[in-house]
Amino acid sequence: MNAVPVVERACELRAALDAARRDGGAVGLVPTMGYLHEGHQSLVARSAGENDLTVVSIFVNPLQFAEGEDYGTYPRDLDRDVKMCAAAGAGLVFAPLTEEMYPQTPITSVAVNGLNAVLEGRFRPTHFDGVTTVVAKLFAMFGPGRAYFGEKDYQQLAIIRRMAADLSMPVEVVGCPTFRESDGLAMSSRNVYLTAEERPAATVLWRSLQAGRDAVVEGSRNPDEVESVMAAVLAAEPMASTDYAAVVDAATLDRPDVLAGELRLLVAAHVGKARLIDNLGLDVDQL
């Protein structure tokens, strides 16, 4: 396996990308916070299949964590991450220090209003502005190309798509399916917070989503009813504490009065120290 170069500076990132583009190459970016797993690797592999140079950025972005969240304890292991990037086909890792990304406290921020306030936004009101601000910066450093994001963070994907469109960013945002453990738990860097006892309980998010989907497949078109089914599954798991169980229009994230067309079921819950999220798509017209 070839070693992947790691650069810390935006100017080094730009130089590598400029060289790839000069040779007529297409470039792909996979933004991450590191502590990679197979879900991240599936994004890297997808990009490597579609581009000549794939860059993985690894940066735990302080802006998207609120006071009291896990910024300080978020798992980090750059050496392991670099090996996983190489195995998945990345050509470069961009691992900036905080001072490189934020040489001064930014007084400019990017906010995708409305979309940033629903679902996750109700529980993490400053989170998405932190995400869009850092992704806008990464896109500015990266320049024209494709950027790969997981459907695992469905609201984030919708917000980034909208940001890129609203601000005419020269980046094609590509959404990629959620990678799961064999028992359905969505892979997440935060799964390391789960104790051996909590780990089986964490499948409750996936079970809740499946129960919601089953309710729609069996004929329910009432969002209250479907959300109650999902919430009941979560509530039946004593180790989980629910933040939300919601069904929304997949494109707008609005809650429809009657379920129709493409939907997204989304759940968020705490299991022990881990706050977990998951979601599932469903097209009522295809049932």
Counted residue by residue, the chain has a size of 287
Q: Which residues ranging from 143 to 162 are in contact with ligand AMP (CB under 6 A)?
A: 149-150, 152-153
Closer CB to ligand AMP, residue 12 or residue 181?
A: 181
What are the C-alpha distances in Å from 224 to residues 229, 234, 263, 287? Answer: 9, 15, 14, 20
Burial class of residue 239 in the structure, from the number of CB atoms within 10 Å of its CB (0-12 exposed, 13-18 middle, 19+ buried): middle
**Helix 204-217 and helix 223-235, axial crossing angle in degrees, nearest 10:** 150
Closer CB to ligand AMP, residue 74 or residue 244?
A: 74
Stretch that binds ligand AMP, among 171-179, 197-205, 227-235, 237-245 (CB under 6 A): 171-179
Stretch that binds ligand AMP, among 8-16, 19-27, 38-46, 202-210 (CB under 6 A): 38-46
CB 63 to ligand AMP: min, Å: 13
64 DSSP assignment: G
DSSP code per residue over 22-46: HTT--EEEEEE-SS--HHHHHHHHH
CB 240 to ligand AMP: min, Å: 19
CB 12 to ligand AMP: min, Å: 22
Closer CB to ligand AMP, residue 189 or residue 203?
A: 189
Q: Is 37 a catalytic residue?
A: no
Catalytic residue among 37, 40, 127, 270: 40
Closer CB to ligand AMP, residue 178 or residue 242?
A: 178
Helix or strand or coil: residue 231?
helix
How many angstroms from the chain centroid is the CA of residue 93? 18
Among 43, 141, 247, 265, binds ligand AMP (CB under 6 A): 43
Among 82, 90, 92, 186, binds ligand AMP (CB under 6 A): 186
Strand order through the sheet with 262-271: 240-249, 262-271, 274-283
187 binds ligand AMP (CB under 6 A): yes
What are the C-alpha distances in Å from 105 to residues 32, 48, 99, 100, 112? Answer: 21, 34, 10, 11, 20
> Which parts of this chain interact with ligand AMP (CB under 6 A)?
32-33, 39-40, 42-43, 149-150, 152-153, 176, 178-179, 186-189
Enumerate the active-site residues.
40
